[in-house]
Amino acid sequence: MIALLVRDLRLAVRAGGGFGLGLAFFLLVAVLVPLGVGPEGGTLGRIAPGILWVGALLACLLSLDRLFALDFEDGSLDLLATAPLPLEGAVAAKALAHWLVTGLPLALLSPVLGILLNLPAAGYLWLVVSLLVGTPALSVIGAFGAAVTVGLKRGGLLLSLLVLPLYVPTLIFGAEVVKRGATGAEFATPLALLAAITAGAAALLPFAAAAALRINLR
């Protein structure tokens, strides 16, 4: 599993690997939204948690269709399926690699973009915390969607349609944590629910994704 994780990370940072794609998209959203909404600070600060979470979610979605499609096209998915590594483990390793190159950098970069969106200062910590807790769920749910659509040419559209409804709870609770954190309200409940979604997805979906891959490889 570690070998697969290292390979995926290495591929992501090499030329054409797509590292930075999600990050650049996230940056663009955060830069363009203030220009579109206008400089009025009150509005911007109020919508900032939602915008940042939507931006992070779409940035994650951007690189998902490559997760298994590249391995499927060059035949390494066949070979991984016959390797001693269980396919569930391979899915988990690939989802983790996806999170490490998209979710984690997004979470770490988000306070800087919070400034651009005039997020109240009290919200920065909870923005990072909510993204750190919530984005692993985005990667794992996305890995499941990618596994279901792996055999399709240009499956990106179907993947988005499949995955977006599953992303909604994460988005709602994630943005809620930031909103409540920024206004000093009680935020333990949405944070706990966000963590529960991540834990549940990480525990169950690798099995579902591996089953979908086995069917798609036939």
Partner 1 sequence: MELKVSDLAVSRGGLVVLEGLDFALAPGQALVLRGPNGIGKTTLLRTLAGLQPAVAGAISAPPESLAYASHSDGLKAALDVTENLQFWASVHGLDAAAVGAALDAMNLRALARRPAANLSAGQKRRLGLARLLVTGRPVWLLDEPTVSLDTASVALFAAVVRGHLAAGGLAVLASHIDLGLPEAAVLDLGPFRPLRAREAHPPAGGFDEAFA
Which residues in this chain contact partner 1 in the complex, by CB under 8 A?
A: 2-4, 7, 10-11, 14-17, 73-76, 78-85, 217-218
For residue 19 the two structure tokens come to 């590292």
In angstroms, give the least distance from the CB of 14 to partner 1: 4
Q: Which two tokens stand for residue 18?
A: 């797509």
Residues 6+ apart with CB under 8 A from 32: none
In angstroms, give the least distance from the CB of 144 to partner 1.
20
Nearer to partner 1, 71 or 176 (CB): 71
- DSSP type of residue 146: H
Least distance (Å) between residue 80 CB and partner 1: 8
Phi, psi of 49 (to 5 degrees): -60, -45
d(CA 79, CA 3): 14
Q: How far is the CB of 88 from partner 1 (least distance, A)?
A: 15
Give whichever of 11 and 133 is closer to partner 1, judged by the CB atom: 11
Considering the complex, state which of residue 83 and residue 100 has its C-beta at the smaller distance from partner 1.
Answer: 83
17 vs 50, which CB is nearer to partner 1? Answer: 17
Tokens of 155: 């499956």
Q: Which is nearer to partner 1, 40 or 74 (CB)?
A: 74
State the nearest-atom distance from the C-beta of 217 to partner 1, in Å.
Answer: 5
**Measured between alpha carbons, how far is residue 126 from residues 33, 52, 54, 163 in Å?**
21, 12, 16, 25
Number of neighbours of residue 177 by Cβ within 10 angstroms: 29
Q: Which is nearer to partner 1, 40 or 73 (CB)?
A: 73
Q: In angstroms, give the least distance from the CB of 74 to partner 1.
A: 6
R_g (Cα) of the chain, nearest Å: 18
Rounded Cα distance between 62 and 57, Å, is 9
